Chains A and B, each alone.
Chain A
Amino acid sequence: MQPFTYVRPDTLEQALHEAAEPGASVLAGGTTMVDLMRGDLAAPRRVVDIGHLPGLSEIDLSGPVLRFGALARMADAAEDAALKRDYPALAESLQLAASQQLRNAATLGGNLLQRTRCPYFRNGVSACNKRVPGSGCSALDGEDREMALFGISDACVANYPGDWGTALAAFDTAVEIRSAAASRTVPLANFHVAYGDDPARETVLEQGEIVTAITVRATPAGRGSTYAKVRDRQSYAYALVSAAVALEMDGDTVASARVSLGGVASKPWRSAEAEAVLTGATLTEAAGLRAGEAAFAGARPGRHNAFKVELGRRVVARAALTASRRA
């Protein structure tokens, strides 16, 4: 960790001014930021603590648009009875993430900004275009079992690790952003950036901008949703493959489908291909597997992660079957 100045503003406005300073970074729950700083992967000169700011931690599920304050804790949403009932995919994605201790501390806004667990990014030594732009990508010819299959480039194949962001991608989600000068709302689909030549850039967030809320357009498909996650162990591990599926059913037939994938892409990954196969289909395991096959048709596997295509096909099928039973 490198020396820094810690500031704890009293209001969001003050925080936005502080965050606009060059070299400033925002600290909310701290579960990602402190980890990055201790590993020398982030070295802010000024740390702006917003974790205590009032008015940013409400969860409001009552209106036509669900609203999650950026400072709401993962645990608060994971344990929210209405969310569990009406949008089980969202609640499950949080429940299956991290550990209880981390969920108690980590915020919903910060969660979207998690950085990859790619070991070459984390180890501080190996060539990594994300850590040292232009230095190369060690994962391309190294250990790539956990790497991504979608949204990658020859500069970077790292995975987006988040579960919450993945589940949100199945819905009509937007991210509310404030800066000292302005505010804007960005659809989640455009919030994260797939890797091109500059994998160091992961979101559209600019210096001085703070995520203040996440919104989701209410949908009856929420009730017919699930988040399925396969990982090496039963708890406290990132997804090898995960899938959120939300369905509206007309008898045995799928009236509408929403599918997103995690553990396999550089960003939360919506699969229009899987949705197209599911929509109008009679939902059987075979149909679920066909949807999964469509989801992974465009995958670009590396040397040790091709199994994620077959595993992903099955995860989509399992999630679709679970979702259909709820719909």
Chain B
Amino acid sequence: MDGGIGLPVTRRDAPGKVSGDAQYAADFPHAGCAYAALTTSSIARGRIVRIDTAQAERAAGVQMVLTHRSLNEGLGEETFAMKGGHMQSSFLPLTSDEVHYAGQIVSLVIADTQEQAEAASRLIAIDYDAQPASASMDDGDRVEKPLESKSIDVGNANAALAISPVTIDATYVTPAQHHNPIELYATSAEWREGRLLVHVPSQWVMGTRMGLATIFGIPAEDVHVECPYVGGGFGGKATILPHTVLIAMAARRLGRAVKLVVPREAMFTVGSFRPATRSRVRLAAERDGTITAVSHEQAGQSATIDHVSFAVTEVTARMYASPNIRVRESTVATDVNTPGFQRAPAEAPGFFGFECAVDELAVALGMDPVALRTKNEPARDPVGNLAWSSRKLTECFARGAELFGWSRRTPEPGSMVAEDGALIGYGCATACYPSASGPSAARIRYSADGVCIVSLSAHDLGTGAYTVMGQIAAEVLGVPNHLVRVQLGDSTLPSGIIAGGSVTTSSSGSAVHVTALAVRDALLRAAGGGELVDGFVVSPDGSRRPATEVLAECTSGFIEETGVWKPDSISDKQMQNGLAGGMAFSSALGKYATYSFGAQFAEVRVDPLLRTVRVHRMVGVFDCGRIINPRTARSNLAGGMIWGASFALLEETQIDRKRARFANTDLAGYHFSTNADIGEVVVEMLDGSDTLANPIGTKGVGEIGIVGMPAAIANAVYHATGVRVRKTPIQVEDLLV
């Protein structure tokens, strides 16, 4: 069998993407479509005191100009995703004269052509009453708000810190960052006899459907969200962006399809972003390296209009065996668009500081950083004393060290020099990501022509879902790969799960698995019993006939089943809500503590004179449970590691504090890695199925790849130079000492 679990099946979506046949949201044609252009606020906070649209309304081809004076609609009962709704923000632009952040949408012009819409939008004159604003959590007037419910105390960390012989106390910061997918945000909306059709890049078509149905007061079945491909999501396309609602409103008023493609500059403010963080980490240890206290206090940037918290400390608290653990979370509200999910939202920034501190502790102890981590490996969850569903972090470090050649490392900073004089640095870090899951449905039709169609409204963001969903079905049914078809990204299909939190394979994959079992059972019933082996029904008497022969005898010529799977901890009611498009996740902390783990290594080369840093190579070894497809999993993990290198050395949305606005709002100013920045990337996945997690034994793959890389690289930079940089990105000026 060539298409089952564990095989490196090539991506089903690749030919369409390479040939250009794949249609992304903005590619779908709509007959008689009108085009929209945005205007955004030039101030960061205040009020619109005058908005003159007369000239724009008279301009050639203009069909409609929407402002806060003409919209007169709102979100209804719908709200912010983190308050239980589906929206990126609880604030819908054009619903008030208030300006809450720079780059807020203040008008929408709709015209017969894109050029007419853009030309007319320049004719809108706006006067503001500007108020002082702060977009940076470091601004003096900002107030840190403690989140007491997120505190964890085990033992007495402060007391242990006071008496332990070796301690570390350091503060680390990470900046705001933006997703910057190459596929721009885009929405087209069309109403047909009271039904709404929306094309939008989405990581959550069912949630988008439910949210739009609520806003427009129509049954969910009357909203159709179609998005077969996503050109980079990274969390930015997980929720409904406000402009999607505005475009649907405009389309309804005009009685005509309307399309908006958001320009790159506006991408920074019409959606979400990764908020800045500040972590104070204190660690204490005995001289032999036994950790006696772990303390992590994180403050995260939030928005004045919405409270957002990505609490990493509930994860970092569980990394090392320590009798004393103390973590705190807080947020700092700023005048910015609502921050949101971005790949490993809590873990990527939070592990930077935490895992740098562990490296600092190793230096203070004179101990090898891998040995320190291994020595303090906890047998059970050190906070709740739960058993791990699986935790092979020590094996990850052992194998990673071997692959990397860690034993060649000499501990003294600057002690390793390449032939060309470059300073060599080796660094490592732990990665971890909670492995959650949620309810999902799937439909499988197995036909007499041998074709097996797997359908569900899950999403492939380039992650491999088209491929792995088919493999899970093929594994049960023994269908050859070329006869497997997979349909995703369409809200008319059985409910898949949001592509967020690394849950797709565990959740929707489990649904495909149980559905495939149902198809198999129906097939065997039709055959009068027996077993299904490699696509053949084997009768109890040992005779074999192709499954397709049995299918041909079925009246319809196929067997079709729709199945549903949910994690045990999710109630039936939660499941129904989840399948309808609500948020329904199991916790990583149930009967067991269920996390993906990784050990990540980096070698950097630092120019001794110019002090520029290059990532020479990266190694990551991961414990992500069973790997359905080593090719797509490797690609996903390597992509995360490459992003981690970007995080460490390049990515920052600069905030102009005086103007309270993002400064580098294009791809010339917002840097991420090019091919030339990335050396060798080695990824290995440990064998092992975690069937305590779910029936197919998988844990999350999508996000863990980025988590440990920023710290591994920062630790390598320290090893090369002796300079401890406690912020990202690490730039040349940080090392010019």
| Chain A hits for B40, CB < 8 A | 125
User: Please, how many angstroms separate the alpha-carbon atoms of A1 and B122 in the complex?
Assistant: 10
Q: Is B418 an interface residue (CB 8 A)?
A: no
Q: Are B609 and A233 in contact (CB under 8 A)?
A: no
Q: Min CB distance, B203 to chain A, in Å?
A: 28
Q: Is B42 an interface residue (CB 8 A)?
A: yes
Q: Are A123 and B265 in contact (CB under 8 A)?
A: yes
Q: Is A17 an interface residue (CB 8 A)?
A: no
| Chain A hits for B449, CB < 8 A | none
Q: Are B674 and A233 in contact (CB under 8 A)?
A: yes
> Which residues 30-66 in B have Cβ within 8 Å of A in the complex?
40, 42
Q: Is B118 an interface residue (CB 8 A)?
A: yes
Q: Min CB distance, A124 to chain B, in Å?
A: 8
As a 0/1 sequence over residues 284 to 327 of chain A, the CB contacts with chain B under 8 angstroms (1 = contact) are 01000000000000000000000100110011011000000000
Q: Is A143 an interface residue (CB 8 A)?
A: yes
Q: How many residues of B contact A (CB 8 A)?
A: 37
| Chain B hits for A141, CB < 8 A | 658
Contact partner of A122 (CB less than 8 A), chosen from B658, B666, B674, B729, is: B666
Q: Is A138 an interface residue (CB 8 A)?
A: yes
| Chain B hits for A40, CB < 8 A | 122
- On whether A238 and B732 interact (CB within 8 A), knowing A3-B115, A143-B663, the answer reads no
Q: Is B677 an interface residue (CB 8 A)?
A: yes
Q: Min CB distance, B729 to chain A, in Å?
A: 8
User: Please, how many angstroms separate the alpha-carbon atoms of A145 and B734 in the complex?
Assistant: 13
User: Please, how many angstroms separate the alpha-carbon atoms of A123 and B115 in the complex?
Assistant: 19
Q: Are A310 and B610 in contact (CB under 8 A)?
A: no
| Chain B hits for A235, CB < 8 A | 674-677
Q: Min CB distance, A43 to chain B, in Å?
A: 10
Q: Are B732 and A143 in contact (CB under 8 A)?
A: no
Q: Is B492 an interface residue (CB 8 A)?
A: no
User: Please, how many angstroms separate the alpha-carbon atoms of A119 and B671 in the complex?
Assistant: 13
Q: Is the interface of B mostly helix, strand, loop or mixed?
A: loop
Q: Are B671 and A233 in contact (CB under 8 A)?
A: yes
> Which residues 631-690 in B have Cβ within 8 Å of A in the complex?
649-650, 654-656, 658-659, 661, 663-666, 668-669, 671, 673-677
| Chain B hits for A123, CB < 8 A | 265, 665
Q: Is A6 an interface residue (CB 8 A)?
A: no
Q: Are B610 and A311 in contact (CB under 8 A)?
A: yes
Q: Min CB distance, B686 to chain A, in Å?
A: 32
- On whether A240 and B676 interact (CB within 8 A), knowing A285-B609, A318-B610, the answer reads no
Q: Min CB distance, B46 to chain A, in Å?
A: 15
Contact partner of A234 (CB less than 8 A), chosen from B115, B122, B674, is: B674
User: Please, how many angstroms separate the alpha-carbon atoms of A1 and B117 in the complex?
Assistant: 11
Most buried by B among A122, A143, A311, A318: A143
Most buried by A among B42, B115, B649, B659: B659
Q: Is A2 an interface residue (CB 8 A)?
A: yes
Q: Is B376 an interface residue (CB 8 A)?
A: no
User: Please, how many angstroms separate the alpha-carbon atoms of A126 and B658 in the complex?
Assistant: 11
Most buried by A among B40, B655, B677, B733: B733
- On whether A119 and B665 interact (CB within 8 A), knowing A1-B118, A143-B654, A314-B610, the answer reads yes
Q: Is the interface of A mostly helix, strand, loop or mixed?
A: loop
| Chain B hits for A236, CB < 8 A | 674
Q: Min CB distance, B676 to chain A, in Å?
A: 4
Q: Is B539 an interface residue (CB 8 A)?
A: no
> Which residues 1-18 in A have Cβ within 8 Å of B in the complex?
1-3
Q: Is A230 an interface residue (CB 8 A)?
A: yes
Q: Min CB distance, B130 to chain A, in Å?
A: 13
Q: Min CB distance, B602 to chain A, in Å?
A: 16
Q: Min CB distance, B659 to chain A, in Å?
A: 6
- On whether A3 and B119 interact (CB within 8 A), knowing A143-B664, A238-B668, A311-B733, the answer reads yes
User: Please, how many angstroms separate the alpha-carbon atoms of A236 and B664 in the complex?
Assistant: 16
Q: Are A317 and B609 in contact (CB under 8 A)?
A: yes
- On whether A143 and B675 interact (CB within 8 A), knowing A119-B663, A234-B614, the answer reads no
Q: Are B122 and A233 in contact (CB under 8 A)?
A: no
Q: Is B731 an interface residue (CB 8 A)?
A: yes
Q: Is B612 an interface residue (CB 8 A)?
A: yes
| Chain A hits for B673, CB < 8 A | 233
- On whether A311 and B732 interact (CB within 8 A), knowing A230-B610, A235-B676, A318-B610, the answer reads yes
Q: Are B676 and A233 in contact (CB under 8 A)?
A: yes
> Which residues 111-162 in A have Cβ within 8 Å of B in the complex?
117, 119-120, 122-126, 138, 141-143, 145-146
Q: Is B736 an interface residue (CB 8 A)?
A: yes
As a 0/1 sequence over residues 711 to 737 of chain B, the CB contacts with chain A under 8 angstroms (1 = contact) are 000000000000000000101110010
Q: Can you list 12 pairs linking A and B with CB atoms under 8 Å apart?
A: A119-B665, A122-B666, A122-B668, A122-B669, A126-B661, A233-B649, A233-B650, A233-B671, A234-B614, A238-B668, A311-B611, A311-B733
Shortest 8 CB-CB contacts between residues of A and residues of B = A307-B733, A234-B676, A235-B676, A143-B663, A235-B674, A142-B656, A125-B42, A234-B677
Other A-B contacts than A126-B42, A142-B658, A234-B614, 6 sampled, CB-CB below 8 A, are: A126-B656, A141-B658, A234-B674, A234-B676, A236-B674, A311-B610
Q: Which residues of B contact A (CB under 8 A)?
A: 40, 42, 115, 118-119, 122, 265, 609-612, 614, 649-650, 654-656, 658-659, 661, 663-666, 668-669, 671, 673-677, 729, 731-733, 736
